[in-house]
């Protein structure tokens, strides 16, 4: 049986892994959901200084203080940033890194950089107007206001849960660049949700900059659904993860 450490994406806490974690534990696996500093039930710890480094230490210390080894480390969406950086620091504790609808950014790149200029301007405007200059408010999680691909498969109860439990993201986690040295490569898997498997493979063939942080071409596992597969397809998400053990 495997040991999983599950890291959520922007605005989310460890709570988002409840259904997937229950299924993995029922199959005999050990599961450690992580709530990053300033989010979920640790929202009260949010400060302007919380950045990628803080969240990387959250992940690294989860591994160290529980003395976890041969870990399958999973990062969803923006959680891929601290996961990539943590994998660079403690590769000896990992058997595999999984990017769930996420990618590892290269050294020196910020999550903010993947947005086009007009989107960056809009994000900065929201942070200034609604987040006191240091917090990024969560999206509305409403179908009329978002790319429908992101919310595919989510029912009304799922959307209500996201609206109820999501909290503003410390903006420094998007503006602080990753620092990676690639000391020891760890096997990587990309579970592709929003983009089809064929699209992802074409992005690698085209040397798309979004894929530049991978150590070569990773294993690609298709899971056709929206950007929140742990809610929209928890059974299939758990099965996809368990298949990597």
Q: Report d(CA 131, CA 11) in Å as an integer.
A: 13
CA dist list (Å): 130 to 30, 51, 77, 114, 168: 39, 19, 23, 22, 10
Q: Report d(CA 95, CA 140) in Å as an integer.
A: 36
| Residues constituting the chain | 245
Q: pTM for the whole thing?
A: 0.96
Q: Which residue numbers are catalytic? A: 77
pLDDT tens digit at each of 245 positions of the chain: 999 999 999 999 999 999 999 999 999 999 999 999 999 999 999 999 999 999 999 999 999 999 999 999 999 999 999 999 999 999 999 999 999 999 999 999 999 998 899 999 999 999 999 999 999 999 999 876 678 889 999 999 999 999 999 999 999 999 999 999 877 789 999 999 998 889 998 999 999 988 999 999 999 999 999 999 999 999 999 999 999 99
For residue 86, which of 113, 61, 66 has the smallest C-alpha distance? 61
């Amino acid at each position: 049986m495997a040991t999983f450490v599950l890291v959520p994406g922007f605005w989310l806490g460890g709570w988002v892994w409840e259904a997937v974690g229950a299924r993995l534990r029922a199959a005999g696996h050990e599961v450690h959901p992580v709530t990053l500093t300033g989010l979920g039930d640790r929202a009260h710890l949010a400060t302007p200084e919380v950045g990628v480094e803080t969240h990387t230490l959250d992940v690294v210390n989860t591994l160290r203080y529980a003395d976890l080894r041969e870990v399958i480390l999973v990062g969803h969406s923006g959680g891929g940033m601290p996961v990539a950086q943590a994998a660079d620091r403690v590769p000896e504790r990992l058997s595999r890194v999984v990017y769930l609808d996420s990618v590892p950014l290269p050294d020196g790149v910020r999550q903010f950089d993947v947005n086009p200029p007009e989107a960056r301007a809009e994000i900065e405007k929201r942070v200034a107007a609604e987040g006191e200059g240091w917090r990024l408010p969560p999206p509305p999680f409403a179908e009329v206001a978002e790319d429908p691909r992101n919310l595919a498969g989510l029912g009304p109860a799922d959307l209500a849960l996201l609206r109820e439990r999501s909290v503003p993201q410390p903006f420094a986690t998007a503006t602080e660049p990753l620092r990676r040295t690639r000391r020891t490569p760890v096997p990587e898997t990309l579970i592709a949700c929003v983009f089809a498997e064929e699209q992802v493979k074409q992005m690698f063939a085209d040397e798309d900059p979004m894929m530049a942080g991978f150590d070569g071409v990773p294993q690609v596992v298709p899971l056709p659904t929206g950007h929140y597969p742990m809610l929209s397809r928890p059974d299939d998400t758990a099965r996809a993860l368990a298949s990597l053990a």
